[in-house]
Amino acid sequence: MNIDAYKEQFNKTIDHLKQEISALRTGRATPALVEDVMVEAYGTKQGLKAVASISVADAKTLTVEPWDKTLMQVIELAIRNSDVGINPVNDGKLIRLPLPELTAERRADLIKVLHKKLEDARIAVRKIREEVRNDIDKAEKEKVISEDEKFASQDELEELVKEYNELVKKVGQDKEKEITTI
């Protein structure tokens, strides 16, 4: 049985984890911090990135430029009411988002959130492993593979799971280092 066919599922889990933790605020400004803030525009809720361009002015400041200037107040309010902890400054043309310094308490909170997201990723990897194990067992019962092939496939699967768990751990360590670096 070809275990490599399941790598895409594992890769999607890692990609999802990276996207999830990119929104965790570190000391640097990054558009990922606010791009998913939901804005009420044109009668529907949309991500900020759908109604404005978001750019990095400097290491501690983001700028948001709405494509439709009538949305300035709505965008400002959405950012203010979101949980990103940034106080927007509206100058009429742009909305500036100066990032406050991270306190030790806020860093600790971010690390807790990070650990939860890492655990979610490990759980997703385990679910995929269970799914693949069931497919291997089913293939053996249907006589598609032999018992020896079943055990070889399970060993290959365990190696793959170990590899992806290490990747989750490394991604987490890198992000934790980024959060704790002042």
Per-residue pLDDT tens digits for 106-141: 788 888 888 998 999 999 999 999 999 999 999 889
Instruction: Clarify whether residues 107 and 94 are in a common domain.
Output: no
Domain containing 151 equals 3-21+103-180
pTM of the full predicted structure?
A: 0.67
Structural domain count of the chain: 2
Instruction: Clarify whether residues 43 and 112 are in a common domain.
Output: no
Instruction: Clarify whether residues 107 and 176 are in a common domain.
Output: yes
Would you state the pLDDT for residue 59? Answer: 78
Cα-Cα-Cα-Cα dihedral sign, residues 177, 123, 31, 70: negative
Last residue of a domain, one of 80, 98, 116: 98
Instruction: Clarify whether residues 65 and 134 are in a common domain.
Output: no
52-58 sheet: strands from edge to edge: 52-58, 61-66, 95-98, 89-90
Instruction: Clarify whether residues 90 and 108 are in a common domain.
Output: no
Last residue of a domain, one of 98, 130, 159: 98
Last residue of a domain, one of 52, 79, 98: 98
Nearest to 30 by CA among 179, 176, 171, 168: 179
Cα-Cα-Cα-Cα dihedral sign, residues 30, 107, 91, 76: positive
